[in-house]
């Protein structure tokens, strides 16, 4: 049996997208001053991207692991669960 890659595992989940993000960058100026841009590295679903001017948030890719709640050294990401009926649904098998 072969090992599943992360992209294969991400394909096994379903996500019902809300119109409003459950992930919010509190202050883009904090992102501009951040030298390491750690959020662009620690998120397994590549939700965060640095454009050179600001951090963009592709919240529709979020797998709700909560890493960004503790991964940002400046705690500049406001994270809450998506409102009822929205968010991720895991499929096993």
pTM value is 0.78
Nearest to 55 by CA among 21, 84, 82, 83: 21
Phi, psi of 38 (to 5 degrees): -60, -30
Hey, what domains does the chain have and what are their CATH numbers?
6-89 (3.30.70.20)
What pLDDT sits at residue 2? Answer: 60
Positions in the chain short of pLDDT 50: 1, 93
């Amino acid at each position: 049996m072969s090992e599943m890659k992360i992209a294969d595992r991400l394909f096994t989940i379903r996500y019902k997208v809300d119109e409003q993000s459950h992930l919010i960058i509190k202050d883009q100026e904090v992102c501009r001053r951040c030298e390491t841009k750690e959020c662009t590295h620690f998120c397994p679903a590549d939700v965060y991207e640095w454009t050179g001017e600001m951090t963009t948030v592709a919240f529709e890719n979020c797998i709700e692991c909560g890493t960004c709640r503790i991964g940002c050294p400046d705690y500049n990401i406001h994270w809450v669960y998506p409102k009822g009926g929205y968010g991720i649904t895991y499929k096993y098998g």
